[in-house]
Amino acid sequence: TVNLITPEKRKQAAALVKSGIVVSLAPETMPGKIGGSVPGPPFVGPPAGSSTIDVNFNKQGRTGWVHEHNYALTSTHHGPHFDAVCHVAYEGKTYNGYSLTEIATKEGGCSKMGIAGVKDKIVTRGILVDVARMKGLQRLEPGTHIYKEDIEAFEKWASVKFGPGDLFLYRLGGSKGSGLDPSFIPFLKQRDIALFGGDTAHESFTVPGFDIPMHTVIMVPLGMNMFDNLDLERLADTAAKLKRWEFMFVAAPTPSTRGTGSQISPLAIF
């Protein structure tokens, strides 16, 4: 959980900044489209509107004053986004044993473990796992399962090791049907990893009894927030060029009251 990100952990992360290179992990969004590997609902205007993103340039009087404004309506769980722990439940229970009937509010959202609770928590060490690059590939073969043994092999190859409070990021690079095998999940607990994310929605493989096994098992018993659909291509290229797979990671979700998630634009700093 984010509770593993201590002040000492943040200081450790800050010490990783050597070159000052900053990489955004969010794909750009455009009218009618949300970035990320999984398509979501489009940006839309107000119910009576005809434009997707409204941009106005207006001159006001003789001063020539100009202003511009946008409006956008979108889902907090499509495109690049960050999930609050209350986003997923299993058999009616969330992390810490809360029942959905207990935390769901009539106004919408959740009364406990919402996104606002982590608005100033996410500064930590991130490690990017790029198994394809380790194997000398641009991307993995379609349908590849990534196992715990692959992660441990990557640690040796990249001379890094996951530890308490870290962010686990992994790159698929658009490899269709590939992903982390759900059998890998205990690794997150064994290393006391705080946060998890990738350039995908994570649910590549099925497990009997679970509709979304990665989200369910990572969020409900482990209480771990998740980043979905990030853009990790520039990060992977930068890490390979610098031969550094660890970095300072910073992200600040929109602290919406009772929010179950947020669009996100994280930064990796080398």
Residue 243, pLDDT above cutoff 90: yes
User: In this structure, is residue 207 part of a structural domain?
Assistant: yes
Clarify whether residues 57 and 135 are in a common domain: no
Q: How many separate domains does the chain show?
A: 2
User: In this structure, is residue 14 part of a structural domain?
Assistant: yes
Q: How far apart are CA 86 and CA 82, in angstroms?
A: 12
User: In this structure, is residue 36 part of a structural domain?
Assistant: no
Clarify whether residues 61 and 87 are in a common domain: no
> Which domain does 66 fall in, by range?
41-74
Q: How far apart are CA 101 and CA 223, in angstroms?
A: 18
| Higher-confidence position of 88 and 192 | 192
Query: 131-165, pLDDT tens digit by residue?
Result: 999 999 988 888 899 999 999 999 999 999 999 99
Clarify whether residues 63 and 83 are in a common domain: no
Predicted pLDDT at 264? 81
Q: Residue 255 forms beta bridges with which residues?
A: none
H helix runs in the chain, sequence order = 7-14, 100-103, 131-134, 148-158, 186-190, 213-219, 233-242
User: In this structure, is residue 35 part of a structural domain?
Assistant: no
CA-angle at 217, arms to 213 and 220, nearest 5°: 130
Clarify whether residues 114 and 198 are in a common domain: yes
Q: What is the CATH number of the domain that holds 122?
A: 3.50.30.50
Clarify whether residues 65 and 11 are in a common domain: no
| DSSP strand pairing (179-180 vs 145-146) | parallel
Clarify whether residues 20 and 49 are in a common domain: no
